[in-house]
Each structure stands twice: as C-alpha cells, then as structure tokens.
C-alpha cells in the first residue's frame, strides 16, 4: 500500500536547511518518493503551526522508512538538525 511522508517544519537557519533540501530531494526520489506538496498554502486548524509543510508519496510505508534510514537521507538530515524544528510522520494510505 502507498504511504505519505508528512513533515511540518519551522526553518531556523535558511542556509543550512537549503543544503538539507538539496540533498534530501534526490534521496527521496531514489526510494520512489514523489513530492505532492512543498511549502504550499495551508490552513492550520489544530496543533502547533509550522510555516513549511511537505507531503511526499512513497510506494509503501517500508520504502518511506527505508528512505529515512538510508545513508543519503541521513547525510541530508545532518544539515536540518539545528537548522529547523520539525515533526515527521509516515502514514499508510488506506485503500
């Protein structure tokens, strides 16, 4: 079953986060991920508002998790740490 990778992000260091984004995109694509939304308009109805929201679709929950744990994505993530506050969840798509 396909899955969605959903990230809610507040960027605190644009330069460092730009390095993350440059590396993360190819790592996500290499695992079959495709972006559905990146930084688009949104309406926050509940919870903590984060100005950047990202949704990517993966072929499966396992593919998304493998992406996250991959060396390429972890290298990218090193640039995001300390440059952002974020939450990330992977959700399997029902039917």
Report the candidate in 68, 49, 48 with the shortest Cα–Cα distance to residue 58: 68
How many CB atoms are located within 10 Å of the residue 74 CB? 12
Order of all β-strands in the sheet with 52-58:
34-38, 52-58, 3-11, 84-92
What is the average pLDDT across 63-78? 98
Whether this model's pTM surpasses 0.85:
yes
DSSP state letter for 81:
B
* Structural domains of the chain, with CATH: 3-42+49-92 (3.30.70.100)
Question: Residue 39 — pLDDT band, cuts 50, 70, 90?
Answer: confident
- Stretch 36-63: mean pLDDT: 96
Residue-averaged pLDDT of the chain: 96
List strand residue ranges (DSSP E) for 1-95, in order: 3-11, 34-38, 52-58, 84-92
């Amino acid at each position: 079953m396909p899955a969605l990778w959903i990230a809610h992000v507040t960027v605190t260091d644009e330069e460092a986060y730009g390095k993350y984004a440059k590396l993360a995109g190819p790592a996500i694509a290499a695992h079959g991920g495709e972006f559905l939304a990146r930084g688009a308009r949104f309406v926050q109805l509940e919870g903590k508002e984060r100005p950047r929201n990202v949704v990517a679709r993966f072929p499966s929950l396992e593919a998304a998790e493998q992406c996250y744990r991959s060396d390429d994505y972890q290298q990218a993530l090193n640039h995001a740490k300390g440059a952002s506050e974020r939450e990330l969840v992977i959700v399997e798509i029902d039917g």
